[in-house]
Amino acid sequence: MLIDTKYDPSEIEGKWLQYWLDKGFFKSTPDEREPFTIVMPPPNVTGQLHLGHTLNNTLQDILIRKARLQGKNACWVPGTDHASIATENKVIEMLAEKGINKKDLSRDEFLKYAWEWKEKYGGIILSQLKRLGASCDWDRTAFTMDDNQYQSVIKVFVDLYNKGHIYKGVRMVNWDPMRQTALSDEEVYYKEVNSKLYHVQYQVEGTADFITVATTRPETILGDSAICVHPEDDRYLHLKGKKAIVPLVNRVIPIIFDDYVDKEFGTGALKVTPAHDENDYKLGMKHNLEIIDILNADGTLNEKAQLFVGKDRFAARKLIAQSLEEGGQMVKVEEIRNKVSCSERSHAVVEPKLSMQWFCKMKDLAEPALKVVLEEELKFHPKNAVNTYRHWLENINDWCISRQLWWGQRIPAFYFGTGVNDFVVAETAEKALLIAREKSGNVNLEIADLKQDEDVVDTWFSSWLWPTAVFNGINDPGNADVKYYYPTNVLVTGQDIIFFWVARMIMAGLEYEHEIPFKDVYFTGMVRDKQGRKMSKSLGNSPDLFEIFDKYGVDGVRVGVLFSSPAGGDLIFDEKQCEQGRNFANKIWNALRLIKGLEITETESTEHNAVFEWFENKMSESLVKINDAFDKYRISDALLETYRLIWDEFCAWYLELVKPEFGQPIARNVLEKTIQYFEELMILLHPFMPFITEEIWQKLGERKAGESIMLLKWSSKKSNNVLVLQQGEIMKDLVTGIRNVRNQNNLSPKESLEVKIKTPQRENYAVFEHLVRKLANVSTLEYVLEKVADAKSFLVKTDEVFIPLEVNAEDERERMLKELEYNKGFLISVEKKLSNERFVQNANPQVIDAERKKKADAEAKIKMLEEGLAGM
């Protein structure tokens, strides 16, 4: 019936995926059951499935599938993020290929192209997630730019504006001159580069004196409005009240004193350019300095620079250095390594730039968000992420939420005049008009007179509403879905977006639902290759996932990814681990082949009752460990325990114990038990390997249409018979010991052996006796009171086992002496401990008892060995 000894997942996976989708097993609607909810971190709509998603979504799927098996109403909401900058870049690239320049398009025309692009490519990653087996309620698929989400964002913007959290202002922002947009602090990364530190002389006005400053950005000299030195710096005290002359442009600027300056750094004198440096800006505000912005939006110099107008900032830098050199004002040029900030989107060097932007005040939002985490109402796994979180929230800056882009939610601010305050904020133009008429006092204002802000909000300003907005909680507060599913149970995401996203979702959740958005956050690590390098396009070390799916099966890859990522650490990807997953699938497949290949006899058998008892206890024992690992979000530990239970206990021991001899039939009752256990094991494994477990379960019995392993129940067994577990271990030790003797003596497994056991507790062996005979090919098994001469021996716990064989007395003697020596040494260390008064006084009584038992055991072994040696 089942021919191939190799499991072939290719057709099976597609078949069951379609079946699950057709039957609607992933769907969820509110009912009386306990909900278990996860909202998927929405991948960029531009994205393709990579290993990071695979890890992340496999973990979520495992949690969701387990909850579903536990009878909870599991709901996993999928979706994509419109990713304003990333997508806009893609669309611009696409247009460029067609020979179209964004600048030649109107906003509406551009957005039309963008939506077309989204419709065409935006579904790719979702279908890839389906292939992974992600059991999302696909009917709930959300997109951060769909109507509901768009309206939610606008509503929240207006609300926060009205509450005074959102304001418009001129601030120093990170400016990306290539994309010509502001970036949030989080979208900037720092790159270490070789650069030059220029030491430039400024003449002190009316003297022949010079003051030297050091700068890496000499072009900003043109925007200087002061020189600053430390008020206690003896070198410069005489310059109090003096002015300096800016080289090249000969502007006269004040020399100011502020303890912000580090006396030790460079020359101790700092040039202050308030328009082009965050710290200089602060100094400028404090000392009321002129702000001279010398850069255009595209990074070229403007008229305020006076020189090199129209030149790019980097070209200007060289030209200015040259001019200073020629004018004799360059004291020296040093080679240094420093860090420059770059845009995550365009990788261009970011300019600190003064710009009119929209901001969201964070302090009031941050406080409650910090509290719920510190008080563990909301738990982080691993725990140490709390430190990072706290540090950020305690030092939080206002959030620059405007972006000079088109693809995104357009800021709902409407301008009715040219004055700084001639605008209103409202959800629609109609509403804006009413307010604008009032504010302006001009009752004749019409919608046509209003001009909406050109900017959109930061992408994260939509995704921070995700856990609420996917249930329409912002537009329809308190609706049945949001009441049932919110707060969600767990968020699974990367540590890298703890600030961008996690912290802000907590803020938004508390602000709009007055409740945390999720109870637990499981942070995954970073994805690296075998050499520990980050996966990146430029390194080309990102494997082709679909090739790997084909090669090892999706189940195999899911297992491989988990094995590569122990307990939430970094994912160090190695294909080898997928091979292990595939081999595991094959092992299970062959267990099925064994069971399906057996002939059945109706004769009832009782000889395996002890085995059933033992295996049921073994499963319970593992179940406790598995559940515990799940509770602690140690998902790969849960998998490893399941793997061991199935491979080592079920396949290697249980099946071998119940397997009839070759050609013999199996008793129906034994087969039924076996199938029952196999089914239970498949349920435990299902969250990890959904496809093969469905296939096996379907094949294990007669199934009706519409049945599925997904609809079964997670075991809640709790047998705990310690004795039978111990007897099982004794049985294994005995079998292993006999096999060892065979191995060491080059005896074929076909040659049966006599075994004699010297034990005061025969009952420990009795229950499994007949099985040991079979597993270890034992001809006679008997119990003895005395040592057996001319035999190989080994220990099972403290019992001695003898196998009569030709023995080399000298070898045996040596082995025993070695063992004796070891035990004597061990005894000494135990006795030392026990004779130490302070140990006996201070140690826990249980520990002392354990030590006494160790002592007794060691003494017994020593006695036995000594007797044995004496008898030789």
Partner RNA sequence: GGGAGCUUAGCUCAGCUGGUUCAGAGCAUCUGCCUUACAAGCAGAGGGUCAUAGGUUCGAAUCCUAUAGCUCCCA
Residue type for position 839: F
When asked if residue 858 is in the footprint of RNA (CB under 7 A), the reply is yes
Closest CA to 50 of 713, 573, 715: 573
Phi, psi of 807 (to 5 degrees): -120, 145
Binding to RNA in span 388-447, by CB under 7 A:
388, 391-392, 395
Residue 190: φ, ψ to 5°: -110, 135
- Between residues 309 and 652, which has the closer beta carbon with respect to RNA? 652
Complex with RNA: residue 183 or 405, whichever CB lies closer: 183
Name which position in 10, 207, 288, 387 contacts RNA (CB under 7 A). Answer: 387
CB of 8 to RNA, least distance (A): 7
If one asks whether residue 185 binds RNA (CB under 7 A), the answer comes out as: yes
Nearest residue to 453 via CA among 187, 82, 161, 86: 161
Please name which of 494, 498, 641 lies closest in space to residue 571, comparing C-alpha atoms: 494
Q: How far apart are CA 825 and CA 830, in angstroms?
A: 9
- For the chain, the 3-state helix, strand and coil shares in percent, each to the nearest 5, are 50, 20, 35
The rounded distance, in Å, linking the Cα atoms of 175 and 345 is 12
CA distance 138 to 20: 12
Q: How far apart are CA 177 and CA 314, in angstroms?
A: 12
Residue 828 CB, nearest approach to RNA (Å):
12
Site for RNA, residues 151 to 170, rule: CB under 7 A: none
Helix residue ranges, H only, 769-808: 769-775
Sheet holding 518-524, edge to edge: 379-381, 518-524, 488-494
Tokens at residue 77, please?
């909401």
Q: Is 651 in the site for RNA (CB under 7 A)?
A: yes
**Cβ 730 to RNA shortest distance, Å:** 14
Q: How far is CA 507 from the centre of its chain?
A: 21
Count H helices and E strands in the chain, helices first: 28, 31
Q: CB 844 → RNA: shortest distance, Å? A: 5
Name the one range near RNA by CB under 7 A: 184-192, 195-203, 206-214, 308-316: 184-192
Interface pick for RNA out of 44, 151, 590, 601 (rule CB under 7 A): 590
Stretch touching RNA by CB under 7 A, among 54-62, 363-371, 571-579, 716-724 = 571-579
The string of DSSP codes covering 731-756 is: HHHHHHHHHHHHHHTT--TTS-EEEE
Under rule CB under 7 A, residue 655 binds RNA: yes
Q: How far is the CB of 838 from RNA (least distance, A)?
A: 3
Tokens (6 digits) for 498: 């703890």
Q: Quick one: which segment of 423-431, 445-453, 608-616, 835-843 binds RNA (CB under 7 A)?
A: 835-843
Amino acid at 762: R
Residue 242 or 833: which CB sits closer to RNA? 833
For RNA, give the closer residue by CB, 2 or 237: 2
- Residue whose C-alpha is closest to residue 445's, from 415, 419, 421, 412: 415
- Near RNA by CB under 7 A, which window of 211-219, 526-534, 611-619, 691-699? 526-534
Which residue shows structure tokens 């494997």? Answer: 543
Taking the complex as a whole, the smallest distance from the CB of residue 3 to RNA amounts, in Å, to 11
Written as one string, the DSSP assignment of 524-585 is E--EE-TTSPBP-TTTT----HHHHHHHHHHHHHHHHHHHHSGGG--EE--HHHHHHHHHHH
Minimum CB–partner distance for residue 826 and RNA (Å): 5
For RNA, the binding residues in 91-150 under the rule CB under 7 A are none
Of 182 and 585, nearer to RNA (C-beta) is 585
Q: Which of the residues 66 through 95 are near RNA (CB under 7 A)?
A: none
Residue 201's H or E segment, with its range, is strand 188-204
User: Looking at this protein, which amino acid is placed at residue 859?
Assistant: E
Q: Does the protein bind RNA through residue 783 (CB under 7 A)?
A: no
Asked whether position 834 contacts RNA by CB under 7 A, the answer is no
Chain positions 747 to 766 lying near RNA, rule: CB under 7 A, are 749
From residue 801 to residue 830, what is the string marking binding to RNA with x (rule CB under 7 A)? ---------------------xx--x---x
Q: In angstroms, what is the minimal distance from the CB of 541 to RNA?
A: 14
CB nearer to RNA: give 48 or 590.
590
CB of 190 to RNA, least distance (A): 5
Given candidates 241, 597, 760, 845, which one binds RNA under the rule CB under 7 A? 597
Size of the site for RNA (CB under 7 A): 78
**What DSSP character marks residue 139?**
G
Residues in region 436-495 near RNA by CB under 7 A: 495
Residue closer to RNA, measured from CB, 478 or 532: 532
What CA–CA distance (Å, rounded) separates 273 from 227?
9
Least distance between RNA and beta carbon 668 (Å): 19
Dist. CA 216–CA 265, nearest whole Å: 13
**If binding is defined by CB under 7 A, does position 281 make contact with RNA?**
no
DSSP class of residue 43?
P
- Which range in 97-105, 147-155, 305-313, 848-856 contacts RNA by CB under 7 A? 848-856
Interacting residue with RNA among 1, 3, 5, 234 (CB under 7 A): 5
Least distance from C-beta 719 to RNA, angstroms? 20
Residue 717 near RNA by CB under 7 A: no
Structure tokens at 414: 């409407």
Report the Cα–Cα distance between both ends of the chain, in Å, rounded: 58
Give the E-state strand segments of 706-824 in sequence order: 753-758, 778-784, 791-796, 799-804
Could you tell me the smallest distance in angstroms from the CB atom of residue 260 to RNA? 13
Instruction: Tell me whether residue 242 or residue 797 sits nearer to RNA (CB atom).
Output: 797
Of positions 290, 843, 859, 872, contacts RNA by CB under 7 A: 843
In the complex, the smallest distance separating the C-beta of residue 833 from RNA, rounded to whole angstroms, is 6
Decide: is 534 part of the binding site for RNA (CB under 7 A).
Answer: yes
The bridge status of strand 188-204 relative to strand 243-245 is antiparallel
Considering beta carbons, is residue 156 or 571 the nearer one to RNA? 571
Asked if residue 333 lies in contact with residue 198, where contact means CB atoms within 8 angstroms, the answer is yes
Rounded to whole angstroms, the Cα distance separating 358 from 411 reads 9
370: nearest Cα among 387, 352, 346: 387
Of residues 614 through 643, those in contact with RNA by CB under 7 A are 637, 640
Site for RNA (CB under 7 A): which residue of 196, 773, 815, 854? 854
Instruction: Please identify, using beta-carbon distances, which residue of 569 and 871 lies nearer to RNA.
Output: 569
Q: How far is the CB of 336 from RNA (least distance, A)?
A: 13
Of 30, 34, 40, 44, nearest to 61 by C-alpha is: 40
* Rounded least distance, CB 569 to RNA, Å: 5
Q: How far is the CB of 499 from RNA (least distance, A)?
A: 6
719-748 residues in contact with RNA (CB under 7 A) are 735-736, 739-740, 742-743
* Shortest distance (Å) from residue 387 CB to RNA: 4
Pick the closer one to RNA by CB: 140 or 634.
634
Interface positions, 663-702, toward RNA (CB under 7 A): 663
Near RNA by CB under 7 A: residue from 141, 541, 583, 676:
583
* Distance, CA of 757 to CA of 233 (rounded, Å): 91
Dist. CA 73–CA 31, nearest whole Å: 8
Residues 325-384 that bind RNA (CB under 7 A): 339, 384
